[in-house]
Structure 1
Amino acid sequence: MAGHGDSFVDCGCSVVGQAGGEAAATAQRRVLARTASVCPVCLGPAPAERVAVGDAVLLVKRCPEHGEFSAPVWRGEPAFTGWVRPKIPTARRGPGTERALGCPNDCGLCPDHGQHTCTLLIEVTQRCNLRCPVCFASAGQGGGRAKGLEGLGGELGGRPGDERHEGDTRASRREDDPTLGELVARLAVLRPRAGDANIQLSGGEPTLRDDLPQLITAVRGLGYPFVQLNTNGLRLAREKGYAARLAAAGLDSVFLQFDGPDDAATARLRGLPLHADKVRAVEACAAAGLGVVLVCTVARGVNDHCLGDIVRFGLARVPVVRGAHFQPVSFFGRYEGFGAPSGASESAPGVATAGTDDRADDRKLDDLREAARITLPEVMRAVRDQTGGLIPLAHLHPPGCEHAQCSFSGTFMAHEDGRLEPAGGACCGTGGSGGAARDAGTGGMAPEPIPAALGAERARSFVRRQWRAPDPATVSADTDGARGGTLATPPRDDFERFLARAGRRFSVSGMAFQDAWTLDTERLRGCCIHVAAPDGRMVPFCAWNLTSVDGRPLHRNGAPSRTGVAGCGGLGSGEGAGA
């Protein structure tokens, strides 16, 4: 990453230092498109380009004050240029924010946003019973890595001097949680604008709220058709009957943090060896009739070698486990051990100072962060290779809802003998052969553009159908308790056999969230995952979580103003034309 002026360091994807040196690197660099981004230091606007270097694609941008930055957004097959799913932008529903400062400052949604809401996420607490080294929301109290749990519902204490950045006003005390009434009122106001969006309850750790069952019931009472819980699973695993209480309240699905088949990955990414708790959480959901999606944060060199094991763990527990979802690690919020915002230098990391040691520290932090970065196609290939070709690239598709470069998915019928059969179409309303098949030389044509709103509608329907547990009557009699459900009598006819097979659908998907290095405003305007902000805005997920290199948030403390990033002094005003 660059410091001031004209300096530039790319991510290691170029061929500098190999045969041909600098000239060969320059010759192989090809600009694919121009877009816009933000500066990782000040979050101000930065013109950007997507640049092909060999089989990799970099996002390269320049801040007039802090110089040039580069980060990989795509590496290898399926080819970037073939991974497409064109959409016709759809205007927002109802009122929102207006154009003033440019993208991504105007989120709320502004008139330039081109996609309706598929998932409306609401953060119900910033408290957490873990202090994960990697966390979108920097949830929990300040402090180092978790040494142990202070009871199931208690937060982990911090070390002196580890308080939050002064520009970050996120709550971490019970009394600072929004009240039940405030949360319900927020979702009620947004109901006309969000439409039939699926609701995800997030945080922090939502299960720290003892009124979570009442909140779920209230959300269903507002007419939202699907409610999902985003959780680390500890309370589900350790409190008998808790999963059943959530199911009775109206919960449909559990988005379960699940980073590997053993304790190694959870210790690195979550600070504690918690695999046994994850298994017990799945078992509790099976008993309660809740569908489970295994959600893995993927970091290179940490757990990218065990994605196939996660898929196999899920397949062994169909139909309660509805899919495996992979999220390449993104660098916002807290990312200790991967070039942490609170790292080695007293100055903001990445902001070069006169001291040689500071520059060296900044480069070290940059190297740690970029070494852990992994792109969507690398995840796809790892899933293919680690499952022995059980999930070919040709059966993974670009999305029909969000921007094509944001995700992949495939849906399969899981047979009892271990075979996977493509289930006809993919997650998020895709269908068709997708980019991978074209790249494989099948000669398929690019799909015709669809209205973005239609993609969002199909995505909502898919999630409701696939990620909630199937009705017990659709689970075949040979399914035992260890695999997720039972049925007293076998299917009586072809229709019941069809329903039983439908209950064994399993999705494999991934989503690449954008951070301050990789944010592309074209992608952001196609986002369909929106956060219900306390001030009534609906903010695209990546914009909501966006933080500068030293941990300053863009949107979490309120909308950015012409005098600076919200809650962060005078940094990154973003004034001027947006993307």
Structure 2
Amino acid sequence: MKILDVTKSLCPYCFKRIDADIVEDNGKIYMDKTCSDHGKVRVLIWSDASTYQEWGKYSEHAPRNEGGHPTEKECPYDCGYCNEHRGSTCTSVIEVTKRCNMNCSVCFASANAIGDNLSLSKIQEMIDYVAETQGFCSLQISGGEPTLRDDLPEIVSYAKKIGFKHVQVNSNGIRLASDLAYVKSLADAGTDLIYLGFDGIDDGIYEKIRNRKMIDVKKGCIGNCEKAGIGVMLVPVIIKEENDDQIGKIVKFAKAHMPTVKGIHFQPASTFGRYEMTENHENRYTIPDLIHDLETQTDREIIADYIVPRKKKSPYCSFSSTYYLNFDNNLVALTRRDGNISLKVPVMSNSKMEKFARNTNNFTEKYWKQNSVEASNKDSELATFSKRLRTYSLSISAMPFQDVWNIDINRVKGCCVSVIHESLTTIPLCLNYLTDTKGRRLYEEGVCCYESNK
């Protein structure tokens, strides 16, 4: 066993801040930590030790966020943000409702049918707060199920009017599949992307994970988005030995539904909310598992060399890759880890909040928005290729959220995805939904509950 790094983490039983080691053992990477009250914990965080240190070379440390408030209790108990947070926000999430028309067994928000809606004026205040404190980053309207609100187009329209370039709606697709007029109203309001839950192409998968058949709903949603001119991002939650055999099928489905489908954002399951993982953490689905499955299940149409680790603070939080679909129906990489491919995605800057948000928006505008450009017979070969490239691009990315078992405080400090609360506080997404072994949350409505949970 070899210790590669030291950090801070939390006890999964009591939320106490404790020391943690990142260790290599038997070809895998683990987090080892010990609580004085609850004993030792070991959790798998990276299933292929041979790639772990290579990915570590891509880390870019951002400066401290001078705009945060002073710390009193130390990270992670001072969020809102505190001044220990580093880096800028790439995506802000606003939950406009706690209501939902499903009851999924995997739901980190623990949404239900009787949740509350925020008032339109409060949501507008929260959107203003994001603009003032985090710039015009990407904005995700979420829930619950936000399409249960009839005034959702008004929310999107307000965000676009004050200057947000990219506004996406997180949805299960039920209303979007059955109400074309509503989808068109979202398009008219300026919605750039539907962030669509999509766990596979087999209804048996949805019956296990979402408690109902859903594939016809997903297809109907995509069809209506095509008619309305809104792009769709497929968002699969991947659970080992449940739907990890669906990776290649999801890529094939995405190709068949381009250019409406603009990408796939894989989310390996974490222990949040209603999803309970067994304490056998050897069974975790990690980034190397996903890359392996992408390679093997697509017959190496997608390979590891095309996949770029996140460069914002921690490369272990996520990856991204971008492709275009050529005229032979093959995905051609526009990204490569060594940077040798000339057609590259914009380089993200860590220097200033405005520049970071602008670069992020440029990427989403170019690759995620539904901008279909048809080639004509008069086009030159180069012009035809250029239009194909603009229209038939596909982003493949992943972000396995941290949970109470594997949370690394150093990574939390660099988180660029945040949830905005009614109280006008900003909580990193992983902390926002963090629950202990008894289902108690570390943060409730933007307020730390650590003392009350003791």
Tell whether the structures are fold-level matches, with TM greater than 0.5.
yes
> Quick check: 1:432 aligned with 2:372?
no
Corresponding residue of 1:481? none
Distance in structure 2 (CA, Å) of the matches to 1:534 and 1:193? 15
Checking the alignment, whether the CA contact within 8 Å between 2:232 and 2:262 is kept in structure 1 is yes
Shift of 1:299: 0.3
Q: Identity over aligned residues, as a percent?
A: 32
Instruction: Give the count of matched residue pairs.
Output: 446
Distance in structure 1 (CA, Å) of the matches to 2:379 and 2:387? 11
Checking the alignment, whether the CA contact within 8 Å between 1:114 and 1:452 is kept in structure 2 is no
> Quick check: 1:525 aligned with 2:413?
yes
Shift of 1:67: 1.3
Corresponding residue of 1:86? 59
Checking the alignment, whether the CA contact within 8 Å between 1:91 and 1:116 is kept in structure 2 is no
Q: Which runs of 5+ in 1 are unaligned?
A: 1-28, 141-154, 156-171, 340-364, 435-446, 477-488, 572-579
Distance in structure 2 (CA, Å) of the matches to 1:449 and 1:63? 38
Corresponding residue of 1:263? 203
SS at match of 1:276: helix
Q: Summarize deviations over 1:157-215 as a string: whole Å, max 9, x none.
A: xxxxxxxxxxxxxxx43xx3110110111111231211120100111111111111111
Report matched runs for 1:52-91 at 5 Å: 52-76=24-48, 79-84=51-56, 85-91=58-64
Corresponding residue of 2:22? 50
> Quick check: 1:277 aligned with 2:217?
yes
Distance in structure 1 (CA, Å) of the matches to 2:49 and 2:33? 24
Distance in structure 1 (CA, Å) of the matches to 2:314 and 2:7? 14
Distance in structure 1 (CA, Å) of the matches to 2:4 and 2:282? 24
| Distance change in 2, residues 1:308/1:251 (3 Å) | same
Give the counterpart of 1:464 among 351, 355, 365.
365
What letter is aligned with 1:267?
Answer: E
What letter is aligned with 1:47?
Answer: D
SS at match of 1:134: coil
Corresponding residue of 1:159? none
> Quick check: 1:312 aligned with 2:252?
yes
Corresponding residue of 2:184? 244
What letter is aligned with 1:492?
Answer: D
Distance in structure 2 (CA, Å) of the matches to 1:249 and 1:411? 27
Shift of 1:222: 2.0
Shift of 1:373: 2.3
Q: Summarize deviations over 1:2-53 as a string: whole Å, max 9, x none.
A: xxxxxxxxxxxxxxxxxxxxxxxxxxx1111000011111111011110111
> Quick check: 1:366 aligned with 2:279?
yes
Shift of 1:490: 4.4
Distance in structure 1 (CA, Å) of the matches to 2:38 and 2:235? 35
Corresponding residue of 1:131? 103
Q: Summarize deviations over 1:279-321 as a string: whole Å, max 9, x none.
A: 1111111111111111000000110011000001001111111
Q: Summarize deviations over 1:502-536 as a string: whole Å, max 9, x none.
A: 21111111111000001001111111101112211
TM-score by length of 2: 0.93
Distance in structure 1 (CA, Å) of the matches to 2:218 and 2:82? 39
Corresponding residue of 1:423? 334
Checking the alignment, whether the CA contact within 8 Å between 1:115 and 1:456 is kept in structure 2 is no
Larger radius of gyration: 1
Query: Cα RMSD (Å) of the superposition?
Result: 2.2
| Distance change in 2, residues 1:78/1:464 (3 Å) | farther
Distance in structure 2 (CA, Å) of the matches to 1:269 and 1:402? 32
Checking the alignment, whether the CA contact within 8 Å between 2:136 and 2:357 is kept in structure 1 is no
Give the counterpart of 2:173 among 213, 233, 250.
233
Shift of 1:235: 0.6
Shift of 1:452: 7.9
Q: Which runs of 5+ in 2 are unaligned?
A: 342-346
Give the counterpart of 1:499 among 387, 401, 424.
387
Distance in structure 2 (CA, Å) of the matches to 1:304 and 1:570? 35
> Quick check: 1:113 aligned with 2:85?
yes
Shift of 1:371: 6.5
Distance in structure 1 (CA, Å) of the matches to 2:267 and 2:239? 9
| Distance change in 2, residues 1:293/1:78 (3 Å) | farther
Checking the alignment, whether the CA contact within 8 Å between 2:75 and 2:409 is kept in structure 1 is yes
Corresponding residue of 2:344? none
SS at match of 2:139: strand
Q: Summarize deviations over 1:225-281 as a string: whole Å, max 9, x none.
A: 110011101111112322111000110001100000111221111111111100111
SS at match of 1:31: strand
| Distance change in 2, residues 1:64/1:419 (3 Å) | same
> Quick check: 1:188 aligned with 2:188?
no
Checking the alignment, whether the CA contact within 8 Å between 1:77 and 1:377 is kept in structure 2 is no
SS at match of 2:305: helix
